[in-house]
Amino acid sequence: MIKQITEVKDEIQRRRKRDKARIYIRPGCTDLRKAVNGLSAMAEEQMAGEPFNGNVYLFCNRERKLLKAVWWEKNGFWLSQKRLEQEKFPWPQTDEQAREIKAEELLMLLSGIDFFKAHRTKGS
């Protein structure tokens, strides 16, 4: 399981470097019974995203213990999920808090570090 999570993180970072993929977070909770079709439609309709352009879209459930990532690669969608056993993911609740995040912030998010409340300097 650890190897799979590391492989997914590495794949997202490779995509970001190679394809200039961007990472977007949907704020608040999402019904994660949805699979690729529902989540990619949500990225397009509610996040004004373009699911077929290779960007990564992140979603989290109400309990903040389950996270799903969706992205397109050449001929199909990837769907990855991580479930926490004890802690909760730090997650933005409003559109103002949500934004595009960097690969380094994704790694912090997956490690449980709440960078949403961290002090931000001008230009970041």
According to the 3-state scheme, what is the secondary structure of 70-90? EEEECCEEEEEEEECCCCCCC
Cα separation, 53 vs 56, in Å, equals 9
Backbone angles phi, psi at 14, to 5 degrees: -60, -45
Extract the tokens encoding 123: 């230009």
CB contact at 8 A, 42 and 26: yes
Determine the 3-state secondary structure of 80 from DSSP: strand
Write out the two tokens for 69: 């990532």
Per-residue pLDDT of the chain (124 residues; tens, 9 = 90+): 455 666 766 766 665 555 678 999 999 999 999 999 999 999 999 888 898 998 999 999 999 999 999 999 889 999 999 999 988 998 988 887 777 888 888 888 888 888 777 655 555 4
Q: What is the pLDDT at residue 113?
A: 82
Q: What is the CB neighbour count within 10 angstroms for residue 119?
A: 5
Q: Are 51 and 70 in contact, with CB atoms under 8 Å apart? A: yes
